[in-house]
Amino acid sequence: MTIGDRIRDRRKQLELSVEDLATKLEKNKATIYRYESDEIENLPITILEPLAEVLKTTPAYLMGWDLDTQYHNTFPIETRKIPMLGTIAAGEPIYAEEEFEYYVEVGADIKADFCLKVSGDSMINARILDGDIVFIRKQTSVNDGDIAAVLIDNEATLKRVYYNDDSITLVSENPEFKPMIFKAGENAVSILGKAVAFQSDVK
């Protein structure tokens, strides 16, 4: 398969016309036909990179260097980087230091603002284990029964949240841990955000 073949195949897989591709690259249709007919065998990187981006693949694939991505039915996964802000307890609350540590790359479909590493085993029945990474979407309230990152005074924990008339109850997903009930005004309890996804190693 030639460079032109790969360009044409990816364009058709994405249901793009020659005119569509030309418009996205700010080229004319004749130039796209030249790419696909291999009239230009060695595409410069200034052309190759934007071409690969529009075709949602890699320059290596288009050039035939990356053999692992040459299957016709494969599509690259779009990713983005989310900041890791530290550790959160799945057990007894631990002191929360909201300090940036590093970025975690995740699928672009995960709508989260930051992530935290889990410490403890109080959420195991929700399949969230010690060492897992939980992705959090910032919001100051959640629905009854949602799993959330909750700040208690200066300590953070991961729990299911239930509301009552004059209190908030934080419930673990492990029967060994008792629910934590806080009356209004007794503690500074605030929602950091809703847990929207988690990343776990295969064990």
Domain spans in the chain, listed from the N-terminal domain onward: 3-69, 79-199
**pTM for the structure as a whole:** 0.58
CATH class of 79-199: mainly beta
| H or E stretch at 150 | strand 147-152
pLDDT tens over the chain, length 203 residues: 788 888 888 888 888 899 999 898 888 888 888 888 877 666 777 788 888 888 888 887 887 765 444 444 555 567 788 888 777 776 655 545 555 667 887 887 888 988 888 888 999 999 999 989 999 999 989 999 999 999 888 788 899 999 988 889 999 999 999 999 988 766 678 898 999 998 887 66
Q: List CB contacts of 59: < 8 A, sequence separation 6 or more.
A: 45, 48, 49, 51, 52
Sign of CA dihedral 85, 86, 91, 94: negative
Closest among 140, 133, 144 to 101, alpha carbons compared: 133
SS3 201: coil
Give me the pLDDT at residue 41, please.
62
Q: List the catalytic residues.
A: 122, 159
Superfamily of domain 3-69: lambda repressor-like DNA-binding domains (1.10.260.40)
